[in-house]
Amino acid sequence: MRILLVEDDALLGDGIQAGLRQQGFSADWVRDGVAAAHAIEAEPYAAVVLDLGLPRRSGLDVLKSLRQKKNLVPVLILTARDTIEDRVTGLDAGADDYLVKPFDLGELSARLRALIRRAGGSPAAILTVGALALDPAARTVDYRGEPRILSAREFDLLHVFMINAGRVLSREQLAAALYAWGEEIESNAVDVHLHHLRRKLSPGIVQTLRGVGYLMPRDVR
């Protein structure tokens, strides 16, 4: 899952980005409010980790304007000041969750997974689509009741398809959902990972709609 991290503190930002990657997220990192607003408009993030005290434009301002534009991306705010007012203002402005610095990276990851699940309409910890069951925390997949071993990229691709089951996704949308800026992407990367997924699971888990994109049926068998 691709996350946007907005944090102006270089040391903290570096640590959070590395921690998110370790937990299996792809994380883009911007350091001010203007860059954050641009990135959120341009890329399909699964969630945003937003510091409130930022140069150029405050985190609260970025949050308010994206909610005004009806952008519903899950947002977790970070606040250095452990004051009730900050948190209340952030939540009232449309944040979905918050953490007070300093925080544990494992807790941040768990909260992001919960936000992404809820945004996908599934409050359960295990995501299921027909015969597929995926555990985002343990990063395990069962198909027809049997555990299957997938590479990190295959797992991420399957996760994107399962969250969007019943919806057609273009190759560009899939690539944008999977890869952070600066990551090396082969032009046919999505096709290669999909090929492996179909081989390891079943050819029918994802349909190819020629010239349009790809579709995971809601009743994968």
Q: Which stretches of the chain bind Ca ion, using CB under 5 A?
A: 8, 51, 53
Rg of the chain taking only CA atoms, in angstroms: 18
The least distance separating Ca ion from the CB of residue 56, rounded to whole angstroms, comes to 12
The least distance separating Ca ion from the CB of residue 8, rounded to whole angstroms, comes to 5
- Give burial (CB, 10 Å; 0-12/13-18/19+) of 43: middle
- Which residue lies nearer to Ca ion by CB, 16 or 150? 16
What 3-state class would DSSP assign to 105? helix
- Which residue lies nearer to Ca ion by CB, 8 or 191? 8
- Which residue lies nearer to Ca ion by CB, 8 or 43? 8
Q: Find the helix packing angle between 171-178 and 189-200, rounded to 10°.
A: 90
- Which residue lies nearer to Ca ion by CB, 86 or 96? 86
The least distance separating Ca ion from the CB of residue 6, rounded to whole angstroms, comes to 9
Rounded Cα gap, residues 31 and 5, in angstroms: 8
Residue nearest to Ca ion (CB): 53
How many angstroms separate the Cα of 204 from the Cα of each of 50, 64, 130, 194, 195? Answer: 39, 42, 12, 11, 11
- In this structure, the dihedral spanned by the alpha carbons of residues 16, 10, 40 and 71, taken in order and rounded to 10 degrees, is 60
The least distance separating Ca ion from the CB of residue 9, rounded to whole angstroms, comes to 6
The least distance separating Ca ion from the CB of residue 54, rounded to whole angstroms, comes to 6
- Which residue lies nearer to Ca ion by CB, 59 or 136? 59
